[in-house]
Structure 1
Amino acid sequence: MIVVAGLTFAVAVLVIILTLLVRRQLREKYAVLWLTIGLILLILSIFPELLVGLTHLLGVQLPSNLIFALSIVLLVGVCLHLSWELSRAEDEIRRLAEETAILRADVDELQAERGTTPPPDDDLAVGEDQARG
């Protein structure tokens, strides 16, 4: 019964990962990690004695303790990686915002030299209308 539940869970994880990958909702670099985890789950579901052997090899008392410890290590690793990716994305967003501000200032300066007024910014106009009403 437990083997069937573990096997069902592993197959469900793999199907979800592949579905997200095909729909392009999960990037390939993350899919490799999750597919590896899914395959490990599948192997351990089919051959639970591997987990017991690994438990004895590492000196852990119970296989469930090993699973929890490995899960915690995995989750900490994923959190650190996502924090690193978020930091990189924030730096890129800040850099792009600065470049956009410089380019907008250059455009405004060129329009001022020509004596033309810049067209109204649709985003700002919508925001002002919402603020008034």
Structure 2
Amino acid sequence: MLIAITALTVLFIVAVVTMLLRRQLQEKYAVLWIVIGVAMLILELVPGLLGWLSSIAGVQVPSNLLFAMGIAMLLGVCLHLSWELSRAEDEIRRVAEEVTLLRAEFEHRTEVVAPTDDAEAEPDDE
């Protein structure tokens, strides 16, 4: 079982690195996932480490510490993604306002340059 879990963890790290190299994942997110993958790998390869960490933290059952760390990590990821989403929405709003102003200026300049239909028509002197 340990071999399968270790293989899945290594596969996870390879997938993150591959996504990073293909530019499907930004560096700032890839670092987080690689750190998580390496931490998972270390906890798998050194089984006594989680027990030692739980005794230091005062947690009686090591798996409870693992779940608490996982929940804390997920909350951190959710907070970070919410922050990124807020920044992206602000940027989208700013760009939309800028495009609206440029479009209005373009339409105004087009109206000034282009003659109207009434001005083009020459009067008949017949």
TM-score (normalizing by structure 1): 0.83
Figure out how many residues of one structure are paired with residues of the other and give that number. 116
Report the RMSD for the aligned CA atoms in angstroms.
1.3
1:86-125 matches, within 5 Å, as 86-115=85-114
Larger radius of gyration: 2
Worse-matched range after superposition: 47-56 or 8-17: 8-17
Structure 2 CA distance for aligned equivalents of residues 116 and 13 of structure 1? 64
Hey, what's the Cα distance between the residues in 2 that align with 1:83 and 1:48? 34
Amino acid at match of 2:66: I
Q: CA deviation at 1:65?
A: 0.7
SS at match of 1:72: helix
After superposition, where does 1:1-133 map in structure 2 within 5 Å? 1=1, 3-115=2-114
The Cα of 1:6 is off from its aligned counterpart by 2.8
Moved over 4 A (4+): none
Following superposition, the deviation at residue 99 of structure 1 comes to 0.3
Q: Tell me if structure 2 keeps the 8 A contact 1:10–1:45.
A: no
> Displacement, 1:62?
1.2
CA shift digits 1:31-57 (9 cap, x unpaired): 111111111111111101111100111
More displaced stretch, 81-90 vs 17-26: 17-26
Q: Are the structure 2 counterparts of residues 37 and 53 from structure 1 closer, same or farther at C-alpha, using a change threshold of 3 Å?
A: same
1:125 maps to none
- Provide the TM-score with structure 2 as the length reference: 0.87
- Is there any run of 5+ residues in structure 1 with no aligned partner, and where? 118-133
Report the counterpart of residue 128 of structure 1 in structure 2.
none
Alignment gaps of 5+ in structure 2:
117-126
